[in-house]
Amino acid sequence: MGNLPHFQLFIDGAWSEGATSQFMTSANPATGQGWATFSCAAPEDVDRAVAAAKRALDDPQWRDMTATARGKLLYRLADLVAENAARLGEFETTDSGKLLAETSAQTGYVADYYRYFAGLADKVEGTVLPIDKPDMHVFTTREPIGVVAAIVPWNAQMFLTATKLGPALAAGCTVVLKASEIAPAPMLEFARLIEQAGFPAGVVSVITGDAENCAIPLTRHPDLDRIAFTGGPETARHVVRNSAENFAVTSLELGGKSPILVFEDADLDGAANGLIAGNFGASGQSCVAGTRGLVQRSVLQDLIGRIKEKAGAIVLGDPLEAGTHVGPLCTLAQVNKIEETLAKSAEQGAVVHFGGQPADRPGNYMNPTLVECISPETETLKVEMFGPVMSLLPFDTEEEAIALANSTVFGLGSGVFTQNLARAYRVSKRIKSGICWVNTYRAISPIAPFGGFNQSGYGREAGVEAILDYTRTKTTWISTSQEPMANPFVMR
């Protein structure tokens, strides 16, 4: 392993190498050079983590802890996340290539997600039912769903961990957190904060590894009760098939080709900023990236001019530098996929207004790119590239815009730019997506649920309903009669 930093697995409150001592080297996307190594879980390690979670679930130390006390642990975790935001951000930036300004700020904001769910921990209530039978007192309680597998991708890992781990722990579940084998360092470092916060051993384990040795054994494990997955649709299909082995309740937050609709009455500077944020923010590596810009034909060229002017000031560079706006992509495969997609789009008649090529520098850099499309069948409008590529397509009428917005198998995010409030309401109501931003884009809050329609998945994360998804309802019937239970074979 040389002199590179090394990250172990965190299982049952202890740090260890994987059972087979396999490890991987993680490359810094800004340089292409290895910067750290990490242990990879084997099936035996998955078994250990799940067994620890199952044991902790029934251990009085966690099982009998009051909801208020669980909330206090989450508050402590939130404070630790906030205190270590800069350090965790640096790990994430070095490992994934995302801008330090974004990773550190996002991690700092993630603390509010843990605080939100900490506050909800003792707000989960049951109901007394006005039952239609005399001498019966019937009530419901919500109990932890059980052992949870939380599977998180590399692109927004601290955030997507909080939206799963926060409600799961607040509800009283135990969690095996599986970090992506691509850029897992910040997740393994985050495990130290879980340890410092004082959660009992086994309540949270953090592992990583490849599909065959880690993800598959985890998602099909017989002792699993819940799977919370964020990732791509193809992987999700395997997760769903694996869950057939254990009938674990499953939620999926998947990919997208989100539309941003710009009408002729929109504030075009605001719309240009929204399109830039939705496509070049996070270097385009966002599941809600607004990669299908649908623009009313009468303002298309004006909008293109404004985007060109604003994009001219974008600084491509080292993600650790404060002045950088767009950093490298996490993997070289993303750069290659973008090049192939752009080549096919050009053959279909699309016009590249700027960018279109990898940057001439070491690392996985792709220049921000603007593509004007002439057909909804243009490849850049159909393929999720996970990079800084904006595609614009003209429309003429509101009905056409809505039809184009919904002409996809995905349905995660969407945006509408218009100064007509009635239109904003009409259009946002008809777009088939789990999120719709009006005159803004990529805004998030722990209070607001998010999730997808169609092949962007099912289930919701964040918001009050998220914690309920980590509980099961139990109905308790109590006879209040002084008489013994009647003979069941004597009908009255």
210 pLDDT exceeds 80? yes
2 pLDDT exceeds 80? no
pLDDT at 72: 98
| Per-residue model confidence as pLDDT tens digits over 308-363 | 999 999 999 999 999 999 999 999 999 999 999 999 999 999 999 999 999 999 99
- Which domains are delineated in the chain? 6-254+452-475 (3.40.605.10), 259-438 (3.40.309.10)
pLDDT category at 491 given cuts 50, 70, 90 is confident
Tokens of 61: 């130390």
202 pLDDT exceeds 60? yes
Q: Hey, which residues are catalytic here? A: 253
pLDDT category at 239 given cuts 50, 70, 90 is very high
* Mean pLDDT of the 279-285 span: 93
Global model pTM greater than 0.85? yes
101 pLDDT exceeds 80? yes
| Rounded distance between C-alpha atoms, residue 111 and residue 387, angstroms | 27
pLDDT category at 490 given cuts 50, 70, 90 is confident
Share of the chain above pLDDT 70, in %: 99
| Per-residue model confidence as pLDDT tens digits over 103-116 | 999 999 999 999 99
| Per-residue model confidence as pLDDT tens digits over 25-71 | 999 999 999 999 999 999 999 999 999 999 999 999 999 999 999 99
* Mean pLDDT of the 211-235 span: 96
Q: Which of 291, 288, 329 is nearest to 443 (CA)?
A: 288
pLDDT at 397: 98
pLDDT at 110: 97
146 pLDDT exceeds 90? yes
* Mean pLDDT of the 363-367 span: 96
| Per-residue model confidence as pLDDT tens digits over 412-464 | 999 999 999 999 999 999 999 999 999 999 999 999 999 999 999 999 999 99
475 pLDDT exceeds 80? yes
Whether 56 contacts 202, CB under 8 Å: yes
pLDDT at 492: 67
